[in-house]
Amino acid sequence: MMVFFQKIQPLRLLLLLCAALLSAGASSQSRHSYERAGDKAFEQKDYGAALHYYQTALSRKPDDPALLWKSAESARYIYADPLAERWYRQLEAMEKRKPAYPLLTLRLGETLRKQGKYEEAARYFEQFLEQKPSAELAEAARVGLQACRWASQQKRASDAIVVKNAGKHINSPYSDFAPALVGDSLFFSSYRFDKRGDKSTPKIKLTKVMLSVKNGRPREAARPFPSTDTAHVAHTAIFGNGHFLLFTLCKNRNASDIRCDLWLSIKDIRNRWTAPVRLPEPINLGNYTTTQPHVAFDTAAEQLLLWFVSDRPGGYGGLDLWYTPLDTNWFCPCHIPVDARKPFPLPAFTPPTNLSALNTPGDEATPFFHEPTQTLYFSSNGRAENFGGFDIYQTRRKKDGSLEVPQNVGPELNTPYNDLYLILSPDGYSGYLSSNRPGAQYLDEANKFCCNDLFTVQFPTPPDTTPAPPTTAAPPRPTPPLERPTIPIEQLNPPKLPAPTPQLKDFVGLLLYFDNDEPDRRTRRTTTQKNYAETIVPYLERQSEYRERFAAGLKGAQRDSAEQQIDLFFDNEARRGYERLEQLCELLLERLQAGETVEIVLKGYTSPRAESDYNLALGKRRVSSVRNYFGTYGNGAFLPFFRSGQLKVSETSFGEATARRGISDDLRDERNSIYHPDAARERRVEIVEIRQ
């Protein structure tokens, strides 16, 4: 279901379509071949590719009813509604002579409704109901008809609520979505990144998390978000005074469906993020998707709750909203780990509860709980009070703890298009949403197709400056606070402290990783001419090879997990260590130039594949390569300090004896003795002490 990343797959397929159509005229392939290719792609849910093939075939026989129907259906699945309407209408003109497509009037009603043409859409729904269709189809038509009648009666109560595009400095020509506010920082997800090493045309796109500070130009968010090229990274949920982070890693099931899992990272006492950990069952569940996390404190439930979206069993159809309480004794700043380098034990999780009062046979998505007003916002395409695509709704708890009937927030925020991911600032006067409404950027301007942009939302403020919620008569203003005390806004947004001055001691424990038997393979020398940069760069270039070798023979979720383990190791540990070494050298040079004397103590480690004496020499070569790195840094900037004795790099090499138990030493088992992340973690040099 494409609600995870609105238009992600259709966007790439649109680019393929445009490129392919340029060469379609030169092809000698028959119309029937294109149609068969389209049928195969449609069966595989590759609707964008199917549209390409059908449209190419249609260009050779524009009046073919079957091709018109297939083209329109493909366009409908990828939300290209103006394009679908055009072909449905061509087919409608032919149907008057010889009816052959009984669902045509229903499809026209649906396509017109999603463009805000309510009166005309209602007539088609009524016409379809006169055909006495099956109960399921009749219910779809009745819901559509009711939605048209409801939407046509809705009027804007106020123009004081302003929704406008967040600007090209935030949005890209691709989809931008899932905003999250943390103080003056905006996190969001963007489908703008090229897959590394991809040589296809057009390039495969991936989603990553972006960060914009004070509405500045965004950049890719760094650690702990993995910089992987095999999965989409999205949906940021930061809580616990900024010490806990949930996000999703998502992979494509096929061209249209995506499966996601929730991952957790924690800041340690030195403000460093731990390596992310995939949440266990019952949060992530088998081959089902778990996505769009949001965490907030529900005062009525007196618990910290995790809301998320899933298609797991026990739902009402499509995507549903779920929630589960979190252990507030565990998820609190007092429980943060001492050392980010060490694994942290996860708490037990309560089986999630389906929000049955809110879910429908359609899709519910993008939950956001506004703590100061204790109001839950979400989006749905399955309710009768609907303007067309996904609409935003709000609900609050009753005194008995149950939820109110959800209310559409109205035309001030909703449109006939897809409106999702509403978030609000703590005071409730501003926020963001994501939408493909007019005003969003199009990759296909002629057909108004693609993409979602971020939009800012501004509510009117009262004349005084008291932090009361907005008082406009128009929904959706944040509802008044509950009578019982809520968390003070000052606690939600504590004043920012100045960033601590970096210290050399911050780099104690820095891990630098090596490829198998590097540097200088098959030798018992204890020194090397190579510096660390000459070993780590080619090692990082082997990431895809490691991924393939470690995941070989696995399928489904097991293969996904294996690939993600490799990507997380390379991106969050190996590559990060190299970057941190550069930062250490910059700071070290400043301290030496200021007159300090520094000694750096290194340990070398190996995996247990070779004999002990060989591993001892290998560990020493690894330390030697790191020492060489200091010697060559900045065109020899450290050499005067080495000669004067102001800088010293000493070593202790432990070889195989320090390898953890359970690491394979079987030379025939390369998967576990070379490519397993645990084996890779043993091949390292560690900065164990920095003496000043």
Rounded to whole angstroms, the Cα distance separating 49 from 623 reads 52
Confidence of residue 662 (pLDDT cuts 50, 70, 90): low
0.85 exceeded by pTM: no
295: left (phi over 0), alpha (psi -120 to 50) or beta: beta
* 581-599 pLDDT tens trace: 999 999 999 999 999 999 9
Domain extent listing, the chain: 8-152, 162-492, 504-691
Residue type, 561: S
Q: Residue 304: which of 362, 363, 246, 249 has the closest Cα?
A: 246
How far is the first Cα of the chain from the last one, in angstroms, to the nearest whole number?
57
List all residues 6 or more positions away from 314 whose beta carbon is below 8 Å from its beta carbon: 354
130, pLDDT greater than 50: yes
Rounded to whole angstroms, the Cα distance separating 361 from 509 reads 52
Mean pLDDT, the chain, integer: 84
Percentage of the chain with pLDDT > 70? Answer: 85
Contact in structure between 205 and 482 (CB atoms under 8 Å): no
Rounded to whole angstroms, the Cα distance separating 375 from 378 reads 10
Mean pLDDT of 452-481: 64
Contact in structure between 375 and 395 (CB atoms under 8 Å): yes
The first and second tokens of residue 567, run together, are: 């990507």
Rounded to whole angstroms, the Cα distance separating 187 from 180 reads 5
Least confident stretch, 7-11, 137-141, 437-441, 650-654? 7-11
Rounded to whole angstroms, the Cα distance separating 406 from 414 reads 14
pLDDT at 45: 86
Q: Residue 317: which of 358, 381, 361, 364 has the closest Cα?
A: 361
3-state SS, residue 452: coil
3-state SS, residue 599: strand
Q: Which residue has the tokens 């008809």?
A: 145
Residue type, 228: T
List all residues 6 or more positions away from 177 whose beta carbon is below 8 Å from its beta carbon: 5, 6, 188, 189, 190, 234, 420, 421, 434, 452, 454
Rounded to whole angstroms, the Cα distance separating 645 from 667 reads 43
Contact in structure between 667 and 673 (CB atoms under 8 Å): yes
Three-point CA angle 408, 413, 417, nearest 5°: 90
Task: Report residue 328: phi and psi, to 5°.
Answer: -70, -20
Rounded to whole angstroms, the Cα distance separating 335 from 51 reads 53
Question: SS3 sequence, 146-192?
Answer: HHHHHHHCCCCCCCCCEEEECCCCCCCCCCEEEEEEECCEEEEEEEE
Give Cα separations from 485 to 239, 269, 328 (angstroms).
20, 30, 18
Least confident stretch, 114-123, 190-199, 580-589, 667-676? 190-199
Least confident stretch, 77-86, 269-278, 335-344, 504-513? 335-344
List all residues 6 or more positions away from 577 whose beta carbon is below 8 Å from its beta carbon: 510, 511, 512, 513
pLDDT at 321: 97
pLDDT at 227: 78
pLDDT at 609: 75
Compute how many other C-beta atoms are within 10 angstroms of the C-beta atom of residue 640. 11
* 154-204 pLDDT tens trace: 988 778 899 999 998 999 888 999 999 998 899 999 998 887 776 665 567
Chain-centroid distance of CA 250 in Å reads 7
The first and second tokens of residue 468, run together, are: 């009361």
Residue with the bigger pLDDT between 395 and 8: it is 395
Strands 353-354 and 320-326: antiparallel
Highest mean pLDDT (candidates 25-39, 545-559, 657-671): 545-559
CATH of domain 8-152: 1.25.40.10
Give Cα separations from 254 to 42, 121, 259, 523 (angstroms).
11, 32, 10, 47
* 287-306 pLDDT tens trace: 899 999 999 999 888 899 99
pLDDT at 527: 93
Give Cα separations from 153 to 50, 112, 388, 411 (angstroms).
38, 17, 14, 11
Rounded to whole angstroms, the Cα distance separating 602 from 608 reads 20
Q: Which residue has the tokens 């595989």?
A: 44
Strands 391-396 and 290-298: unpaired
Chain-centroid distance of CA 112 in Å reads 31
Contact in structure between 118 and 148 (CB atoms under 8 Å): yes
Can you give the length of the chain in residues?
692
Mean pLDDT of 91-106: 83
CATH of domain 162-492: 2.115.10
pLDDT at 9: 43
List all residues 6 or more positions away from 519 whose beta carbon is below 8 Å from its beta carbon: 528, 530, 534, 535, 621, 622, 625
Count of H-run helices and E-run strands, the chain: 17, 24
3-state SS, residue 11: helix
* 488-525 pLDDT tens trace: 333 333 334 344 577 898 898 899 999 999 999 989 99
Rg (CA), the chain: 29
Q: Residue 206: which of 223, 181, 225 has the closest Cα?
A: 225
Rounded to whole angstroms, the Cα distance separating 346 from 610 reads 35
